[in-house]
Structure 1
C-alpha cells in the first residue's frame, strides 16, 4: 500500500529525474552557468525543460558535466568529448538491451523447460517448435584461389 505522506510515493526519483536548476547544476559540476548553456547548444549535455523552457538537470547530467571537465582537463577537445559521451551512452543502452534480452531468455527457459528457444543458421536466428531440430547443411564447397 502506498503511503500518501511519502513524497517519493507520488514522485519516484532516480538519477535521471530533472531536479536541478542551471545555477545549482553549475555549482555541483564546478562550472559557470554560461558553460552549461554552451554545452547544451553543442549537444554535450542537453537538460530537460520545464513548461516555461527553463533548463532542469538530473544527477546523471551533473555526473556527465564533471566527466566533461575531467576530459577537458586532460586535453580532449569538445568534439572528442562529444564522441566519447556518445559512445558511452551507446554502450549503456546496449548493456541495458542485453540485460532485457537475458531476462526474456531466462523467463522463456523457466516457462518452457527443456525446449529449444532458437537456433542460428545461414538465414539468421530462427525460432523452433518444441522437439524439432534445425536442418543441417550437408553440401560440400570447394574453394580454389584465383591465380
Structure 2
C-alpha cells in the first residue's frame, strides 16, 4: 500500500528501528520542536515520510557535520525560508509566463512607467 508523502502512518518504534536510533531521540527532537509528528486519537505519535526525511537530515547534520541541536534548529528554519522563497520565485515565473502568453496583465499587476520632465529656471538679479 502506497501512502501520501505527508500522510502520518509510521509509529515511533518503526521510525526508530528504520533509522537505527532510540525512540527517546525522537521524543527529544519533538521536545526541541525539530519535528512535529501527528497524533492519533489515542495520542500515539504517527510520522509521515516527510517527517522521516526531516529526521534523516537532522541525523546527518548532528552525526556527520557535528552540528548541535540549536544549530540544527537554525539550519532547518533557514532551509524552510529558502524553500519558501524558491517556491515564490517559481510561482512568479509561472505568472510571468502566463502573462506573456496571454499578452495581458491584470490591472493590479500592471506596471506603468511615467517619465517626469523637470524644468529649471534660473533668475538673474
TM-score normalized by the length of structure 2? 0.77
Partner of 2:10: helix, strand, or coil?
coil
1:67 deviates by 1.6
CA RMSD of aligned residues (A): 2.5
Pick the aligned partner of 2:67 from 48, 65, 76: 76
- 2:81 matches 1:90: yes
| Number of aligned positions between the proteins | 117
Give the corresponding residue for 2:122.
Answer: none
- 2:114 matches 1:135: yes
Partner of 1:61: helix, strand, or coil?
helix
Determine the C-alpha separation between the residues in 2 that align with 1:100 and 1:47. 29
1:126 deviates by 5.8
- Runs of at least 5 residues in structure 1 that lack an aligned partner in the other structure: 1-6, 119-124, 141-147
Determine the C-alpha separation between the residues in 1 that align with 2:52 and 2:80. 15
Partner of 1:56: helix, strand, or coil?
strand
Give the corresponding residue for 2:37.
Answer: 47
- Runs of at least 5 residues in structure 2 that lack an aligned partner in the other structure: 120-125
Give the corresponding residue for 1:34.
Answer: 24
Judged with a 3 Å threshold, the aligned counterparts in structure 2 of structure 1 residues 83 and 33 are, in CA distance, closer, same or farther, namely same
Partner of 2:91: helix, strand, or coil?
helix
Determine the C-alpha separation between the residues in 1 that align with 2:116 and 2:4. 51
Pick the aligned partner of 2:90 from 57, 75, 99: 99
**Are the aligned partners of 1:49 and 1:56 in contact in 2 as well (CA < 8 Å)?**
yes
1:91 deviates by 1.4
